[in-house]
A = this chain, B = another copy of it.
Amino acid sequence: MFSVSTRWLDDAEMTAWVRLAAVLELLPGVLDSQLRRDAGLTHYEYYVMAMLSEAPKRTLRMTALAQRTNATLPRLSHVVKRLEDRGIVERFPCPEDARATNARLTAAGWKKIRATAPGHVETVRQHVVDVLTPEQIAQLADITGAILESVDPEGNLSAVYRR
């Protein structure tokens, strides 16, 4: 905090950081627009659906879902309520723990994400995967892995990205 001298970034570091910051700023918007336009979904809503679709019985407890999607519980609660109103997910009390609520992808929700996924993957290809060489794909996995270790030390999202 009160360090005498700041270790400023050198040219190479600055270039990498500024570009990463630009990606951080632009890429989410691109993904969001595509999903909103083609499916009427937020990127976050899509992620909620994706996490549910991969879970056993397409069901997860709210807490687990919040962790996997890196959201606070209030945020998830609001989002799930809206998805419920649209018939995409349904909520029911957890049999094992009366405090808990389960969220389950409905048949309509499952159908919707199956219809939406190809376009989303195509967008990811177009802007990320297909503009990189196989070596760069591997490098990117290592680099983001290192960043995640420092940004997510408790491994809250590790269930998602550790493969």
Q: Which residue of B lies closest to A28 (CB)?
A: B24
A100 at the interface (CB under 8 A from B): no
Q: Which A residues contact B (CB, under 8 angstroms)?
A: 1, 3, 6-9, 11-30, 70, 117-119, 121-122, 124-129, 131-132, 134, 136-152, 157, 160-161, 163
Question: Which residues of the other chain, B, contact A142 by a CB distance below 8 angstroms?
Answer: 136
A5 vs chain B, min Cβ distance (A): 9
- A12 is contacted by which of B11, B25, B141, B152 (Cβ under 8 Å)? B141
For the residues of A in contact with B, the DSSP-based class is helix
CA distance A115 to B163 in the complex (A): 41
Number of this chain's copies in the complex: 2
A132 vs chain B, min Cβ distance (A): 6
CA distance A150 to B152 in the complex (A): 28
Q: Do A22 and B141 have beta carbons less than 8 Å apart?
A: no
- A136 is contacted by which of B117, B139, B161 (Cβ under 8 Å)? B139
A127 with B140: in contact, given A160-B18, A163-B14 (CB under 8 Å)? no
Q: 4 new A-B pairs (CB below 8 Å) besides A16-B144, A22-B70, A22-B157?
A: A12-B141, A16-B141, A24-B28, A27-B147
Question: Which residues of the other chain, B, contact A16 by a CB distance below 8 angstroms?
Answer: 129, 137-138, 140-141, 144
